[in-house]
């Protein structure tokens, strides 16, 4: 009996020792792997790997890796992406103070890149949006030409497309990417809209992209994400004068890739609030030319006041936009106050930031006080015709110019945004002509009545 107990004790101790040894071995292996990863993932290694994948010169000030945290943590600081020496005409540049990634190392073995979070701090981006619709920053992330030539000549002339780099979802077939959260903090961007001749300075840029999952085999279903954005935008003409300032904040939905080709093709749609400090310069050609259209109201005796210097955002102080392939579309009416007039850009109006082309359906609505004064002016303008015809004239004119007791003018604008072609969408009545018509009707009825009386 005692021998059996000793035998059990020995087996138990043996198992404990084996478990202990195994644990120590795994720990040593884990530490060794960590040291190996740290020795491999250096600034030089990362610089070489990134430059082999994209068409840019890369500098990394410092890189650190910790696989002993779960998930593993990778930190990069003082990162710079700029054009290569043979591409000096490109103005694009990206500078980042610090990038922090949390990624599951184990998931990589199952062909899944599971990134818990990416935190970008202090990014500074410079790019030009060209007239052909492309951007200078795209060339930084295009496929490395040298790598393409190498891959095409390798393996007896058989190209290896899997390793040519670039950002195409289908190049990473069967490799699923999950991103829990991407945050951008304290960043800025300088963007030149070449076709429009406008410079945008985006400061205090903070964004969070969350709940993103990319499965190349199910791109239509998976390429969706939630975006929260806040940014201060200052717009200036290239020749120096200020377009205005907008302070935006709000939520949006986002897609990253073209669903058919797999190419990088961001699409963003969202509702953004505008602070009360947001404003536009009324010398913007669209506002200035639209204001001149109001001169047509002189036909009904209404004279419009002088154009003020600034326009502010009205109604809900919000803007609902969709951005895709350089095209900004308004999917809810956008309201701007210019003095006593509200400029309302209607849904489906759009502007292409690359080509400068636009199409705008809009209404100019007078404030309630200006509308009341205008109505009284119209009434006073028909004093010269018989009282019996006055009401008909005023009613006819008001039906064409007033809606919900507000004076309004409908316009349409097309062509270049910098030189818009603006025309009236609706009919602009002429008070004198309307009065003459009613006077003639009245005279005819009186003449007919006199003639009938004589005949009787």
> In this predicted structure, what is the pLDDT of residue 452?
43
| Greater model confidence, 410 or 258 | 410
pLDDT for 158 equals: 40
Nearest one of 310, 307, 329, 311 to 320, comparing CA atoms: 329
pLDDT band at 353 (very low <50, low <70, confident <90, very high): confident
pLDDT tens digits along 39-96: 556 677 667 767 776 788 888 888 887 766 667 788 889 989 888 877 767 889 999 9
79, two tokens: 């990162």
Predicted pLDDT of residue 205: 96
Distance of alpha carbon 117 from alpha carbon 73, whole angstroms: 10
pLDDT tens figures, 263-274: 878 899 999 999
Q: Phi and psi for 24 in degrees, rounded to 5?
A: -65, -45
Contacts of 174 (CB under 8 A, 6+ apart): 111, 216, 217
Asked whether residue 35 carries a pLDDT value surpassing 70, the answer given is no
Q: Are residues 268 and 172 in the same domain?
A: yes
Give yes or no: residues 213 and 303 share one domain. Answer: no
Q: Which of 19-23, 259-263, 314-318, 336-340 is modeled with the greatest confidence?
A: 336-340
* Category of 145 on φ-ψ map: left (φ > 0), alpha (ψ -120 to 50) or beta: alpha
- Does 134 share its domain with 258? yes
CB atoms within 10 A of CB 422: 20
* Rounded Cα gap, residues 318 and 249, in angstroms: 9
Question: What average pLDDT does this structure show over 358-376?
Answer: 93
Sort residue 369 into left (φ over 0), alpha (ψ -120 to 50) or beta: alpha
| 18 CB neighbour count, 10 Å cutoff | 10
Which of the four pLDDT bands, split at 50, 70 and 90, describes residue 456? very low
State whether 171 and 273 are in the same domain.
yes
Domain identity same for 426 and 450: yes
Q: What is the pLDDT of residues 404-415, one digit of tens each?
A: 999 999 999 999
Can you give the pLDDT at residue 315? Answer: 67
With contact defined as beta carbons under 8 Å apart, do 56 and 141 qualify?
yes
| DSSP bridge pairs for 328 | 323, 351
What percentage of the chain reaches a pLDDT higher than 70? 74
Q: Are 411 and 362 in contact (CB under 8 A)?
A: yes
pLDDT level of residue 311 (50, 70, 90 thresholds): very high
Quick: pLDDT tens for 130-140: 877 778 888 78
Counted domains in the chain: 3
Q: Are residues 197 and 257 in the same domain?
A: yes
CA distance 236 to 15: 75
Stated pTM of the model = 0.76
Predicted confidence band at 27 (pLDDT cuts at 50, 70, 90)? very low
Are the CB atoms for 238 and 197 separated by under 8 Å? yes
19 and 56 both lie in a single domain: no
Predicted confidence (pLDDT) at residue 190 exceeds the cutoff of 90? yes
- Which pLDDT belongs to residue 126? 94
Shared domain check, 449 and 332: yes
Label residue 98 by pLDDT band (50, 70, 90). Answer: very high
The residue among 23 and 272 whose pLDDT is bigger is: 272
SS3 of residue 392 by DSSP:
helix
Confidence at residue 12, expressed as pLDDT on a 0 to 100 scale: 55
Q: Please tell me the predicted confidence (pLDDT) of residue 33.
A: 47
Q: Strand, helix or coil at 273? A: strand
Question: 38 pLDDT exceeds 60?
Answer: no
Q: Quick one: residue 186, left, alpha or beta (phi over 0 = left, psi -120 to 50 = alpha)?
A: left
Same domain? 58 vs 13: no
Please tell me the predicted confidence (pLDDT) of residue 122: 95
Whether the CB-CB separation of 358 and 374 falls below 8 Å is answered with no
Highest mean pLDDT among 17-26, 163-172, 236-245, 425-434: 236-245
Residue 198: pLDDT over 70: yes
Average pLDDT, stretch 28-32? 46
Tell me: pLDDT of 397 over 80: yes
Q: Identify which of 399, 398, 362, 384 has the alpha carbon closest to the alpha carbon of residue 435.
A: 384
129 and 140 housed in the same domain: yes
Domain match, 86 and 215 both: yes
The owner of tokens 């792997």 is 33
Asked if residue 25 has pLDDT above 60, the reply is no
Say yes or no: 224 and 336 in one domain.
no
pLDDT given at position 454: 40
* DSSP helix/strand/coil, 426: coil
Residue whose entry in the numeric block shows the structure tokens 């295009």:
142
Residue 255 has pLDDT above 60, yes or no: yes
Are the CB atoms for 96 and 122 separated by under 8 Å? yes
Q: Provide the pLDDT confidence category of residue 316 given band limits of 50, 70 and 90.
A: low
Q: Residue 16 is part of which domain span?
A: 1-40
The number of residues in the chain equals: 456
């Amino acid at each position: 009996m005692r021998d059996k107990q000793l035998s059990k004790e020995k087996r138990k101790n043996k198992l404990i020792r084996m478990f202990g040894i195994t644990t120590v071995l795994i720990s040593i292996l884990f530490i060794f792997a960590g040291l190996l990863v740290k020795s491999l993932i250096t600034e030089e290694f990362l610089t070489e790997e990134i430059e082999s994948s994209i068409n840019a010169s890369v500098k990394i000030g410092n890189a650190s890796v910790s696989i002993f945290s779960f998930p593993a943590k990778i930190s990069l600081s003082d990162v710079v992406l700029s054009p290569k020496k043979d591409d000096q005409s490109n103005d694009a540049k990206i500078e980042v103070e610090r990038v922090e990634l949390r990624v599951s190392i184990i998931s990589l073995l199952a062909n899944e890149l599971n990134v818990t979070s990416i935190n970008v701090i202090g990014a500074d981006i410079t790019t030009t949006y060209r007239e052909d619709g492309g951007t200078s920053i795209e060339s930084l992330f295009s496929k490395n030409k040298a790598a393409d030539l190498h891959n095409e000549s390798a393996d007896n002339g058989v190209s290896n497309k899997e390793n040519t780099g670039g950002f195409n979802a289908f190049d990473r077939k069967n490799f699923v990417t999950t991103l829990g959260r991407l945050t951008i903090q304290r960043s800025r961007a300088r963007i030149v809209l070449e076709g429009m001749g406008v410079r945008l300075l985006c400061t205090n840029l903070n964004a969070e992209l969350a709940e993103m999952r990319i499965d190349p085999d199910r791109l239509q279903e998976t390429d969706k994400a939630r975006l929260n954005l806040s940014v201060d935008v200052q717009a200036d003409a290239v020749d120096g004068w200020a377009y205005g300032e907008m302070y935006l904040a709000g939520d949006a939905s986002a897609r990253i890739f073209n669903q058919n080709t797999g190419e990088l093709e961001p699409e963003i749609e969202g509702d953004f609030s505008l602070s009360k400090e947001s404003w536009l310069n009324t010398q913007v050609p669209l506002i200035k030319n639209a204001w001149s259209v109001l001169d047509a109201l002189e036909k009904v005796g209404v004279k419009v006041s002088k154009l003020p210097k600034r326009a502010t955002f009205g109604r809900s102080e919000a803007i609902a936009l969709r951005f895709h392939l350089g095209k900004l579309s308004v999917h809810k009416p956008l309201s701007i106050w210019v003095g006593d007039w509200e400029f309302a850009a209607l849904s489906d109006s759009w502007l292409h930031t690359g080509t400068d082309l636009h199409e705008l359906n809009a209404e100019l609505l007078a404030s309630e006080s200006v509308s009341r004064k205008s109505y009284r002016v119209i009434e006073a303008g028909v004093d010269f015709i018989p009282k019996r015809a006055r009401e008909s004239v005023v009613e006819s004119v008001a039906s064409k110019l007033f809606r919900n007791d507000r004076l309004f003018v409908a316009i349409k604008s097309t062509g270049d945004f910098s030189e818009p072609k603006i025309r009236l969408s609706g009919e602009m009545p002429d008070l004198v002509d309307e009065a003459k018509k009613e006077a003639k009707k009245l005279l005819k009825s009186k003449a007919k009545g006199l003639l009938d009386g004589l005949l009787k």
